[in-house]
Structure 1
Amino acid sequence: MAYWLMKTEPDAFSIDDLANSPDGVSGWDGVRNYQARNFMRDDMKVGDQVFIYHSSCPEPGVAGIAEVCREAYPDPSSFDPESPYYDPKSTEENPRWWCVSVRFVRKLNKVVPLAEMKLNPALQDMALVKRSRLSVMPVQPHEWETIMAMA
C-alpha cells in the first residue's frame, strides 16, 4: 500500500463533497499536470490511502482521508467540450489525461494546517512542505504517520 496527497479547492470539491457523493465515491478528474497524471496512471493502486488536502482557502491543510477504489482510467472531463478541463488533443483512442476514483474514509478530527506541517521537523522533506505545486503527490509512510499524529 502506498500513501498519497491530493489537493482540492474546498469551494470546488471538499472532503464533505466526497463524503456526500454517491457511495462516498468520486472520480478524481481535472488533473492537468503530467507528473501528477503519471502518479495516478502508473503508480496509484486500489487500497492506497490518500490525504485530501484543501488548498486555496483561508487555512490550507489536510482535511480527511480517502482510499483509491478504482485504478487509472481516461479522464472523461477531457473529452467534454462543456468541461473546464476539456482538451481537444485528448481522444478516447489516445487519452492524454487520466483519473482514479477515490472513496471517502473519514474526516480528520481537525484540519492539519500547512503552517503547522512546515514547523514539524519530521515533515521538512515532504514535497508539500517544499512548495510543490503538484495536485497529486506521494507521501512517505513516516510523513503519513506524523500527519495522523498531528490530527
Structure 2
Amino acid sequence: MPYWLMKSEPDEFSIEDLQQRHDARWDGVRNYQARNYLRSMGEGDLFFFYHSSCAVPGIAGIGRILSKARPDPTALDSTSPYHDPASSADNNRWSAVDVGFVSSFREVLPLSLLKSQETLAGMPLLARGNRLSVMPVSEAEWQSVLALANY
C-alpha cells in the first residue's frame, strides 16, 4: 500500500478539523507534481497529516484516502481562493481527493525531531527546498514515523 504525506496550515484545516468532520475534500493543490501525486493515490491509502506554517510544524496524525482523484471544483469557483481562470469544465487542470480521519498523535512530531532521525534522511519532506504539499512516503519512513509517535 502506498503511503503519503499531505500538508495543511492548521488555521485553515487541521487534523482536529478532520476528526470533527470525519471526512473532507482535499482540494486547492496548485502544483503539478503534487497534483500528479494526488492522481496516483488509491482508495484506502494512508497519509501523514502534516501541520505547516505554524508555531510547531510537524506530523499531527494519520488520515486515509477515501476516493480516487477527481476534478477539483474550487478551480472553477470564481469566489474560491483556489480559482484557476485557465481551467474550465472541459479542461480542469487540478484534482481533489476525499480524505478521512484515522487518528491523531498524542503530540505533534515536530519537524526538528524528524530532521534529527537518520532513518528519515531520505524523506522528501526533509529535502532542502522541498515545498510540495503532497508527497510519497516509503514503507521504511512510515514505520520510522510510527515508532517516533509510539503508535
Q: With the length of structure 2 as denominator, give the TM-score of the two structures.
A: 0.96
Q: CA deviation at 1:130?
A: 1.0
- Which string of whole-angstrom CA distances, capped at 9 and with x for unpartnered residues, describes residues 47-104 of structure 1? 1001000000011000010000011000010010000000111111111000111000
The letter for the 1-side match of 2:131 is R
Partners of 2:66 and 2:45 lie apart in 1 by 8
Secondary structure of the corresponding residue to residue 69 of structure 2: strand
- In the alignment, is residue 5 of structure 1 matched against residue 37 of structure 2? no
Determine the structure 1 residue equivalent to 2:121: 124
For 2:73 and 2:93, how far apart are their aligned partners in 1? 11
CA distance in 2, matches of 1:76, 1:65: 25
Would you say 1:99 and 2:111 are equivalent positions? no
- Let me know the Cα RMSD of the aligned residues: 0.7
Once the two structures are TM-superposed, the CA of residue 109 in structure 1 deviates from its matched residue by: 1.8
1:10-25 alignment to 2 at 5 Å? 10-21=10-21, 24-25=22-23
SS of the residue aligned with 1:70?
coil
> In structure 2, what is the equivalent of residue 134 of structure 1?
132
Secondary structure of the residue that 1:89 maps to in structure 2?
A: coil
The correspondence for 1:114, drawn from 100, 105, 111, is 111
Aligned residue identity for 1:5? L
**What TM-score does the superposition give when structure 1 sets the normalisation length?**
0.96
Q: Distance in 1 between matches of 2:145 and 2:107?
A: 11
Q: Which whole-Å CA distance do the structure 2 matches of 1:31 and 1:74 have between them?
A: 11
Report the number of matched residues.
148
Residue segments in structure 2 that go unaligned for 5+ positions in a row: none
What does residue 72 of structure 1 align with? Answer: 69
In structure 1, the gaps of 5 or more residues are none
Q: Which structure 1 residue ranges, 4+ long, deviate > 3 Å from structure 2? A: none
Shift of 1:146: 0.5
1:110 CA displacement: 1.5
The amino acid that maps onto 1:91 is S
Please state how far the C-alpha of 1:108 moved relative to its aligned partner.
Answer: 1.0
Partner SS state of residue 19, structure 1? helix
Taking the aligned partners of 2:124 and 2:33, their CA distance within structure 1 comes to 13
